[in-house]
Amino acid sequence: MRISFWGGAHEVTGSASEVETGSFKILVDCGMFQGGKQNEEKNEESLGFAPAELTHVLITHAHLDHVGRLPLLIKNGYTGYFYATQPTLELAKLVMEDASRIMRYSHEKTGRALLYNEIDVEMVVDRMKPVNYHEPLQLKHGNEAVTVTFYDAGHIFGSSFIEINDGAKRVVFSGDIGNVNLPIVRETEPLPPGLDLLVSESTYGDRLHSAPGGRETDIQKCIEDTVKRGGVLMIPAFSLERTQELLYFFNDLIEHKNVLPRVPIFLDSPMAIGAMRVYRKYASS
């Protein structure tokens, strides 16, 4: 088994890891590089590998730095399928569509390269294959087979860490993992025993997060102070997970704990609104 990293190693974004075993060439994620002009220009460079040679693509979760370059695989000759949990596939569609709109706006305004368009995104969507947590999926190529199993990573809705078993080695790719004690996602599952290798993200490995219980108190205080002043509270938030987490807190503080006044709440993000539909659709999964 040979593993190559085409992004997300020695840097935060652009996750893309290739596993070669036997006749298989499996790519785990293909995300967009983000974080300033120097990083984003990497999206216009060569992928570093030949998409036409890939046999399968696995997706850990729907954040842009893990799915943002999937359409480039199709444009460069990949003819296989994209495997992920159903919520991840539906959220990834929203994320790629949003990225396409932003790129088109940037292209029309500044002439910046248009990496892909809505048609390219639809070609990815047409090749999506949903998988369930804990159900081993046998991938075949010629007379060979490998087994892939998805586990709940507890990062965002539908997120996974993925085990690849070629019969000789068992390796897990973590994707992004955690946080803990969040109300709208399950906890990160324990790793399966007997692994030969763990490839883990470490974005926040050098810092401590505030305790989850303190977030609701901070939100409550901000809203109370704003209402007392007769003001408007504007909260910039990531469209996936953070927005839904905030709305959950608002609902809990107003409807269940009765500690906040009933004030109008406006959600101004088409992608976040689309994501809410996915959350409602799979709320019990």
Instruction: Give the domain CATH number at 152.
Output: 3.60.15.10
Q: Which of 92-101, 151-160, 213-222, 262-271 has the lowest mean pLDDT?
A: 213-222
Beta carbons of 202 and 175 less than 8 angstroms apart: no
Report the pLDDT value the prediction gives residue 285, as an integer from 0 to 100. Answer: 63
Question: 7 and 142: one domain?
Answer: yes
CA distance 99 to 13: 15
Question: 77 and 146: one domain?
Answer: yes
Report the pLDDT value the prediction gives residue 87, as an integer from 0 to 100. Answer: 96
Question: 98 and 224: one domain?
Answer: no
Domain end: 167, 199, 231, which one? 199
What would the mean pLDDT of 163-167 be, rounded to a whole number? Answer: 97
Write down the H helix ranges in the chain: 37-40, 64-67, 70-75, 86-110, 118-125, 212-229, 242-251, 270-281
What would the two tokens of residue 61 be? 């979760």
Report the pLDDT value the prediction gives residue 92, as an integer from 0 to 100. Answer: 97
- Average model confidence (pLDDT) across the chain: 92
Domain end: 199, 229, 253, which one? 199
Question: 165 and 248: one domain?
Answer: no
In a domain? residue 194: yes
Percent of the chain with pLDDT over 90: 73
Question: 134 and 78: one domain?
Answer: yes
Domain end: 166, 199, 232, which one? 199
Question: 110 and 73: one domain?
Answer: yes
Question: 105 and 236: one domain?
Answer: no
- Count CB neighbours of 153 within 10 A: 25
Whether the per-residue pLDDT at 4 is higher than 70: the answer is: yes
CA distance 243 to 231: 21
In a domain? residue 253: yes
Domain that holds residue 257: 212-281
Question: 157 and 277: one domain?
Answer: no
Whether the per-residue pLDDT at 220 is higher than 70: the answer is: yes
In a domain? residue 207: no
Q: How confident is the model at residue 102 (pLDDT cuts 50, 70, 90)?
A: very high
- More confident call, 161 vs 220: 161
Give the total number of structural domains in the chain: 2
Report the pLDDT value the prediction gives residue 218, as an integer from 0 to 100. Answer: 86
Report the pLDDT value the prediction gives residue 166, as an integer from 0 to 100. Answer: 97
Question: 157 and 132: one domain?
Answer: yes
Residue 240 identity (one-letter amino acid): L
Report the pLDDT value the prediction gives residue 282, as an integer from 0 to 100. Answer: 86
Question: 7 and 129: one domain?
Answer: yes
CA dist 127 → 73, 115, 132, 174 (Å): 12, 19, 17, 23
**216: Cβ contacts below 8 Å, ≥ 6 apart:** 249, 252, 253
What's the pTM?
A: 0.92
Instruction: Dump pLDDT digits (tens) for 196-219.
Output: 999 998 877 777 766 666 778 888
Whether the per-residue pLDDT at 38 is higher than 70: the answer is: yes
What would the two tokens of residue 122 be? 């639809």
Question: 131 and 163: one domain?
Answer: yes
Question: 9 and 93: one domain?
Answer: yes
Instruction: Dump pLDDT digits (tens) for 241-285.
Output: 889 989 998 998 888 888 888 889 999 999 999 999 998 898 766
